[in-house]
Structure 1
Amino acid sequence: MKLKSLIMTAAALAGMAVSSIVHAADLELLQPGKLMVATEGTYAPFSMRAPDGKLDGLEIRVMTEVAKRLNLEYTPVLIKWDSLLVGLQADQYDVISAAMDITEARQQQVTFSNGWLESGGRVVIPNDSAIKSAADLKGKTVGALVASSWTKIAEEKGATAKGYKAESDAMQDLVNGNVDAVITDAIAAAYAIKSAKMPLTMTDDYVSHVQKGFAFKKGKPHLVEAVNKALADMVADGTYAKLTTDLVGFDPTPKEPIKTIQ
């Protein structure tokens, strides 16, 4: 009986090893054992540099934990926002973790993970501004990240949009009086105003409600599925809330995540 038990145990372990190898091979990675992740590194609190120089932020923490749960080496690739999708299609990395809104237009280009964070657009203004809501933006000059949905929203409100490659530049231009307002992500704005002690505030209304997703090149269903499972497990066991709450003051988990469309 002992011999039979040992044989069964050995067979089970061998099966697990084979399963692990097959699973890793099925993840459609560019480099075995590595999860190459595109991030800006300049968009606090999503991705930024900590005081010790290391990358930190919401997306960095969440994606690092995802890689850990997939037994992969988290490998960040720093890249500018307007080159993210081009680099993805050129196989420069496996996934984009940069804070990208899930939109119908982008779903035609890439496969998104399930929504991993919920936020929305807010209008940032100087403390003494006469702008009280998005309705007051008509005829104003509004800063927004180039190639972002904020630019389109500003124009729809009748404003002249001024594009920036970094949100921090737009916010500083607002402080300097070079634009009348900035439209940006509510989480990013709140973090920037608080951490840099800027003389800025936000209007009460939202110009949009969005969920952000990790973006993959189409044709990688196993990798997307594995990341979705890791995300779901992190939310269920409380790890997601622990990783994010101390940065923004609350748990930004989507109540009803937008699901992946393969």
Structure 2
Amino acid sequence: MKKFIRMTALALAALLMLAGCGKKQETTGDRLAQIQQKGELVIAMEGNWAPWSFHDDSDALVGYDVEVGKAIAEKLGVKATFVEGEWDGLLAGVEAGRYDMVINGVDITDSRKETYDFSTPYAYIKTALVVAESNDTIHSFEDLAGKTTANSIGSTYMEMAEQYGATCSGVDTLDETIQMVLQGRADATLNANVSFFDYLNQHPDAAIKIVAESDDANEIAIPMQKGDDTASLREAVNKAIEDLRAEGKLTELSNKYFGSDISSK
């Protein structure tokens, strides 16, 4: 009986030892180390905002932000994995730790900096105000007072329109916002000027016009979870962006997708 108990104890110890050996070594709290250990950088984006991120005729995910994300991941020595979702859930996913970062033409704002840490800017754009060609009442941002606009929920464009006194309807895509303007369900819409340039290149007969642009360029950067655990990740991403800028890669991608260089002021 004693021999049986001894053998059972030895067997149990062996099982525990095997279980310990089979368990993955716990990662540190450092986000960059975790990413490099699993070999994957999880990037969130909308996937329906051309030319930043969209699906081509073969349904492949392409765009400026897609290629920027892949280039950054390569600099970090890992692969890029893209997760698509609606705009208002992307930043919340970073805050909750579901995504490593958002690469989606995100403007740096004071309110966002309170919740997220941003990389160095990788693009600079201006906000454009668009109305139907037949509209002769809106000529400036100040004319939005008492008017209606259509924009992505929680976007800086919606916030800007509301600051000028507009009533905003939330939509998911640029196409939807423009359709609402064309159908008369919204008086105007705001978005990145380069996004409208791309839309007009794709739809030269669209009955819309840009009536105003912001004076100052918005800084476009990459939001990440705030905290000491992500400090090394931010440093690595910043270095990757500066290397890509110095190598001319950001200029190349800018010209490819926007027809101009938006990688510097």
The TM-score with structure 1 as length reference comes to 0.83
**How many residues matched?**
233
Amino acid of the structure 1 residue aligned with 2:176: D
Match of 2:222 in 1: 214
Equivalent position SS for 1:37:
strand
Match of 1:173 in 2: 180
2:103 corresponds to 1:100: no
Shift in alpha-carbon separation, 1:179–1:207, aligned structure 2, 3 A: farther
Match of 1:132 in 2: 139
Match of 1:7 in 2: none
The correspondence for 2:257, drawn from 243, 247, 256, is 247
Unaligned runs of 5+ in 1: 1-21, 256-262
Counterparts of 2:188 and 2:119 in 1: how far apart (Å)? 32
Match of 1:232 in 2: 242
Asked if the contact 2:36/2:76 (under 8 Å) is kept, the reply is no
2:155 corresponds to 1:155: no
Cα deviation code 1:203-254 (max 9, x no counterpart): 1332763111111112301111111111111111111111121211111013
CA offset at residue 158 of structure 1? 2.3
Identity of aligned residues (%): 28
Equivalent position SS for 1:241:
helix
Asked if the contact 1:28/1:222 (under 8 Å) is kept, the reply is no
RMSD over aligned Cα, in angstroms?
Answer: 2.0
Amino acid of the structure 2 residue aligned with 1:181: A
Amino acid of the structure 2 residue aligned with 1:117: A
Equivalent position SS for 2:143:
helix
Equivalent position SS for 2:58:
coil
Counterparts of 1:132 and 1:246 in 2: how far apart (Å)? 31
Runs of 4+ in 1 over 3 A off after TM superposition: 24-28
2:89 corresponds to 1:83: yes
Counterparts of 1:26 and 1:65 in 2: how far apart (Å)? 16
- Give the structure with higher Rg (CA): 2
Asked if the contact 1:122/1:184 (under 8 Å) is kept, the reply is yes
The TM-score with structure 2 as length reference comes to 0.82
Equivalent position SS for 1:202:
strand
2:192 corresponds to 1:182: no
Asked if the contact 1:39/1:47 (under 8 Å) is kept, the reply is yes
Unaligned runs of 5+ in 2: 1-27
